[in-house]
Chains A and B, each alone.
Chain A
Amino acid sequence: MALSALGALALAVMPLPTAVDAFRPDFLVLVVFYWSIESPRAGGLALAFAAGLALDVIRGVVLGEHALAVTLMAAWATHLRLRLRVFSVLSQSLTIFALLTGYQFVLFWVDGATGNPVTTFSRWLAPIIGALIWPLLAGALSRLHDR
Chain B
Amino acid sequence: MVAFRSTDTSGRTTGLLLRCILYSLLALGLIIVDKRYDHLGKIRRFLSVVAYPVQVAVASPFEGWDWFRESVSSRETLRADKAKLEAELRLANFRLQRYEALEAETQRLRALRENTAGVANRFIVGNIMDLDIDAFRERVLVDKGARDGVFVGQAVLDAGGVFGQVSRVEELTSEVILVSDAAHAIPVQINRNGLRTIAVGTGDMTRLKLPYLSTSADVVAGDLLVTSGLGGGFPAGYPVGTIAEVKRDPAQSLAEVEVRPAAALDRSREVMFVWLKTAEAQSTAAPGPSAASPSAPGPAAPSTSASPPQHPGTPKK
Q: Could you list which residues of chain A lie within 8 angstroms of chain B, going by C-beta atoms?
A: 6, 9-10, 13-16, 18, 21-22, 24, 37-41, 44-46, 48-49, 52-54, 57-65, 67-68, 71-72, 75, 78-79, 82, 85-89, 92, 110, 114, 116, 118, 120, 122-123, 134-135, 138-139, 142, 145-146
Q: Does the CB pair A89–B1 fall under 8 Å?
A: yes
Pick the contact of A139 from B2, B55, B57, B139 — CB < 8 Å?
B2
Q: What residues of chain B lie closer than 8 Å to A82, measured between beta carbons?
A: 9, 11
What bracket does the count of chain B residues touching chain A fall in?
35 or more
29 A-B contact pairs sorted by A residue (CB < 8 Å):
A6-B54, A13-B131, A15-B132, A21-B135, A40-B13, A41-B8, A48-B23, A57-B50, A57-B51, A58-B51, A59-B133, A60-B133, A60-B175, A63-B31, A63-B40, A63-B43, A64-B29, A64-B31, A65-B27, A65-B31, A67-B26, A75-B17, A75-B19, A82-B11, A86-B1, A114-B31, A123-B136, A139-B2, A142-B2
Q: What residues of chain B lie closer than 8 Å to A9, measured between beta carbons?
A: 54
Q: Does the CB pair A58–B13 fall under 8 Å?
A: no
Q: What residues of chain A lie closer than 8 Å to B17, measured between beta carbons?
A: 75
Q: What residues of chain A lie closer than 8 Å to B24, measured between beta carbons?
A: 68, 71-72
Sorted nearest first, the 6 A-B pairs with minimum C-beta distance are A64-B30, A68-B27, A75-B20, A64-B31, A67-B27, A138-B2
Q: Is B73 an interface residue (CB 8 A)?
A: no
Q: What residues of chain B lie closer than 8 Å to A39, measured between beta carbons?
A: 6, 8
Q: Is B159 an interface residue (CB 8 A)?
A: no
Q: Does the CB pair A37–B4 fall under 8 Å?
A: yes
Q: Does the CB pair A118–B136 fall under 8 Å?
A: yes
Max count, chain A CB within 10 A of own CB: residue among B16, B132, B139, B183: B132
Q: Does the CB pair A64–B27 fall under 8 Å?
A: yes
How distant is the Cα of A118 from the Cα of B137 in the complex, in angstroms? 8
In whole Å, how far is A66's beta carbon from the nearest beta carbon of chain B?
Answer: 9
Q: Does the CB pair B2–A40 fall under 8 Å?
A: no
How distant is the Cα of A6 from the Cα of B3 in the complex, in angstroms? 22
Q: What residues of chain B lie closer than 8 Å to A71, measured between beta carbons?
A: 20, 23-24, 27
